[in-house]
Amino acid sequence: MITITLPDGNRRQFDVPPTGAEVAASISEGLARNAVAMEINGHPADLNFPISSDSTIRLITTHDPDALTIMRHSAAHVMAQAILHLYPNAKLTIGPVVEDGFYYDIDMAPVSEDDFPKIEAEMQKIIAAKIPIVRKEISKSQALDFFRNEPYKIELISDLQDGAISLYQQGDFADLCRGPHVPHTGFIKAIKLTKVSGAYWRADQTKAQLQRIYGTAFFDRKELKAYLQFIEEAKKRNHRKLGAALDLFSFHDEAPGMPFFHAHGMNVWNALLEYWRMEHRAAGYVETKTPIMLNRGLWEKSGHWANYRENMYTTVVDETEYAIKPMNCPGGMLLYGVKPHSYKDMPIRAAEIGLVHRHELSGVLSGLFRVRAFHQDDAHIFMTPDQIRDEILGVLHLVAKIYSTFGLGFHLELSTRPAKSIGTDQQWEQATTGLKQALEAYGQAYQINEGDGAFYGPKIDVHIKDALGRTWQCGTVQLDMSLPERFDLTYIGPDNQKHRPIMIHRVIYGSIERFFGILVEHFAGKFPLWMAPVQVAVLPINDELASYGQELVRLLETSGLRAEMDNRTESLNRKIREAQLMYIPLILTVGAKEKESNTLSVRTLDGKVRYGMSHDLFFSQTLAHIRGRKLDLNIFKAED
């Protein structure tokens, strides 16, 4: 007799070991129809797996988020099977599930999106056949023989320990896999291949370059349609396209992964930094600056030379090895050590907009989202142990204030001590307790990621949510017990003895380049007035009014507005249209009437035109809107 306990506490008994499918069928026909897999005592398993002892099980249905992940893994197998049907000489590597879909890395001749329809058609045949997906367990030697013509599978199997190895078979296709999978291919209701890119086997540039084919899958065609609409909207917001169209930044072969910011882009950049500096001064930070290149001895002391060397750019100066900094922290340690400190100095909040360089593989570079040269809005807070809670709380309040200015929501995650770490149990307990107390005092729900902290301390990650609902990990608050130790940092306590300071690393924008790219997509290029690259376009209707238009530009600039005049010999309608395509929030058309009456004709991005506006009203409303860093593009009050 086998006793099965369900999540609600109900129990069912079976005379012989049941499968998950049989348990589902014993409850209801609908559950049996929608179940795709199960958990046995917390461990995932296929629905046709026999339950041989008393167990607690959870049936995973198509309505469960876990089911989508399982089904997409099965869809990756279907895609691989379809590709082998169409390209018999292709060699498979790995095909994991990723956010919003899956991919498979395949050693094959290059394919393009033009090839997707025929691959999708073959996938649909496999799905329509409702081929059972069956788990098998074989020995390592059997696996090596089974995959003898698959060099990448052989390499993966060779790395495994001796013992049972699982594979999944669906018709004429089999793949090395831990599972679980849906019962048959018919569970995959809606599929779409989305893109293809290059990838190196095991991310090693010396190894074969593979075709990484991405796709997604859903249990419902409506969900796929909604997702594809979301993708289309995301494409419209693509920061690389908008960056070129709005003349913000560019990339060049002479410096791969290192963005060039144009004059318009620098206007946005400076607006971001001016705001950042204002808020940090108000929060009690001082701003510092450290060199971009420091010698090997420093990086050995910090631990980066041993643990991060492959990501660092190095050179030799006067027979001494140097590295361009990948992080700002070691320089901040040197600054702290310049003079002795007392507990009365604490906390010390030192911020730095530091330019760092990291060697990223060319295949992972992605616009402003993944670059080799970027600026971090670092801050290092040195404090006494009893100040941990309040300083973390202060950072969280600053994070909330800054993100809300951009209309960005966020959620918090706390990552605790990993298996490999430094420091004593007492230090970790003190640091983790301090973070938890701050989070609880802050009052926002947070997720705990057990064992996912840095080796030198626990951390809080801040994930922002943009206008499309996408999340991005930008802000981080990390407690560090390693660098103060490595650099022998101390302060004199109330007992007149030396003590080791607790240190916080934190960023809010994170990589400013990446945050810039996120904002381009968040606002779809329509920056709020205070951030807009050009805030006012001045358009004289003819050459005779050009000098008056230039006077108006000077007046606008004197008032602190970013203004440009379009004096080309184009029609006024065309110049208005082009200014609107550049998302310039305010367009002033200058004619004889405006000059004579000393008034303004103001066109806003919502298409409204306000004639005869006085200079005083224009400047008072516009400058107030900028000072308030308002997000809406309705700059003028309705009654105006």
Amino acid at 10: N
Q: Which among 357, 156, 157, 177 has a CA at the least distance from the CA of 255?
A: 357
Residue 12 bears catalytic tag: no
85 a catalytic residue: no
Catalytic residue among 77, 358, 436, 625: 358
Q: What is the DSSP string of 183-236?
A: SBGGG--EEEEEEEEEEEGGG-TTS-EEEEEEEEEESSHHHHHHHHHHHHHHHH
Q: Which whole-number Å values give the CA distances from 549 to 297, 327, 559, in the listed order? A: 59, 47, 15
What residues contact 271, with CB distance under 8 A and at least 6 apart? 530, 531
Between strands 320-324 and 491-492, the pairing is: unpaired
- The C-alpha atoms of residue 28 and residue 56 are separated, in whole angstroms, by 18
End-to-end CA distance of the chain: give it in Å, rounded. Answer: 81
Whether residue 202 lies in the annotated active site:
no
Cα separation of 287 and 278, whole Å?
11
Parallel, antiparallel, or unpaired: how do β-strands 409-415 and 446-449 relate? parallel
Q: Which of 46, 175, 377, 378 is catalytic?
A: 378
CA geometry: angle at 169 spanning 195 and 121, to 5°? 40
Q: Which residue in the list 212, 329, 370, 466 is annotated as catalytic?
A: 329
Instruction: Choose, from 380, 514, 575, 603, the residue flagged as catalytic.
Output: 380
348-357 and 286-287 strand pairing: parallel
- Residue in 212, 264, 304, 459 annotated catalytic: 459
* Residue 126 · residue 81 · CB < 8 Å: yes
| 3-state per-residue secondary structure call for 241-276 | HHHHHCCCEECCCCCCCCCEECHHHHHHHHHHHHHH
Told to judge if 465 belongs to the known catalytic residues of this protein, a careful annotator would answer: no
Q: Report the amino acid identity of residue 245.
A: A
The closest alpha carbon to 290, from 236, 380, 355, 370, belongs to: 355
Active site residue 378: yes
Give catalytic residue positions.
329, 358, 376, 378, 380, 459, 505
